[in-house]
Amino acid sequence: MMATVQTVGLTKRYQDIVALDGLELEIAAGELVALLGPSGCGKTTTLRMVAGLLSPTAGDILFDGRSVLAIPPERRGAVMVFQKHLLFPHMTIGENIGFGLKMRGVDKATVRRSVAELLKLVQLPGFEGRRPHELSGGQQQRVALARALIVEPKVLLLDEPLTNLDANLRLEMRQLIRTVQQAVGITTIFVTHDQEEAVMLADRIALMDGGRLLQFDRPRTLFERPQNATVARFFRNENLLPGIKRGAQVETAWGTFSISPCNPACNGPVLLTVRPEHLEIGGRHQANGIETTVLQAVYMGAYTQLQVAVGECSWLVQAPANLSIAPGDRISLHLPEARIWCMPV
């Protein structure tokens, strides 16, 4: 069982503080959506309101088109997995996972069978008899995930569940969460401040800041077609240049560039951007070619990151790792027409 989730003008205020301001989201059944943004942006507040742990100041929350605001958390069909595992230390792993079914009066044989299936799904077969203190942090988080899924909720809510894990375990758990979510097909909302985590896990990402939704799109769209400079910068693109768009050309202090005719920005003032990995070294005499001075060159292993002068600003360029470039060198750059993106100012 899975549900569509919709927030309509969802707002939460604490006296004069607006924690969430009119959030509008539509999440498809079986979709995994990441709420992404810095601390205090409203993502955990959103999750807690969907779970029923907080009441909104205004707005509505719909599961399958029906409001759930009057439904208590235990009957809402949304289950939350927190940063801390919150396992019962005096219970075995099997008892922890099966607790929700036991409280519903499910018979012991069915509980045991369901626990075994969930442990297999989270790659912990045979762990029924162990205690929480015998497991690593990553294993305990798998148990917490299995405990949430065993009651077959409509919506799974994950509140930064990987924060307390080290780098290797985080990567392992990301892959597991995605595998489990796809296997079960459950509608999932995942809160994180880690951009890489959101991109790896989510079908779509809701980027939030200051209690507001900045953009809700697929990861590739957020990277390559940001709606404004804040979104571009959050996805590690500081390559911004003011200009005036006239048809399929943009006039800037760095020259006039041809852009794709299907770029949707209207004529007039725009911010032109090209991601560092899309800039090409060479091509001074091609269309959209320019010359610039290298300010900094940092070897990053898979590539060399260049900082180059762009008028009074600077841009980043990802150059091949084997290319020998040093600060002070003059290089040619080509801005591919199809890779230039314009945002209205």
Tell me the per-residue pLDDT of 303-321, one tens digit each, with 9 for 90 and over. 999 999 987 789 999 999 9
Q: How would CATH label the architecture of 5-224?
A: 3-Layer(aba) Sandwich (3.40)
pLDDT in tens, 92-112: 999 999 999 998 999 999 999
Q: In this structure, are residues 343 and 228 in contact, taking their beta carbons and an 8 Å threshold?
A: yes
Q: Rounded to an integer, what distance in angstroms lies between the CA atom of residue 154 and that of residue 296?
A: 51
Q: Rounded to an integer, what distance in angstroms lies between the CA atom of residue 198 and that of residue 286?
A: 37
Q: Rounded to an integer, what distance in angstroms lies between the CA atom of residue 44 and that of residue 19?
A: 10
| Residue type present at position 340 | I
Per-residue pLDDT at 285: 61
Q: Where are the domains of the chain?
A: 5-224, 240-344
Per-residue pLDDT at 118: 93
pLDDT in tens, 70-81: 999 999 999 999
The answer to whether residue 283 scores a pLDDT higher than 70 is no
Per-residue pLDDT at 228: 94
Measured in whole angstroms, how far is the alpha carbon of residue 303 from the centre of its chain? 25
Strands 280-281 and 330-334: antiparallel
For range 119-127, the mean pLDDT: 92
For range 171-196, the mean pLDDT: 92
The answer to whether residue 168 scores a pLDDT higher than 90 is no
In CATH, the number for domain 240-344 is 2.40.50.140
The answer to whether residue 284 scores a pLDDT higher than 70 is no
- Average predicted confidence (pLDDT) for the chain: 92
SS3 39: coil
- Which residue reads 């060159």 in tokens? 297
The answer to whether residue 22 scores a pLDDT higher than 90 is yes
Helix (H) or strand (E) holding 60: strand 58-63
Q: Rounded to an integer, what distance in angstroms lies between the CA atom of residue 186 and that of residue 153?
A: 8
Q: In this structure, are residues 217 and 61 in contact, taking their beta carbons and an 8 Å threshold?
A: no
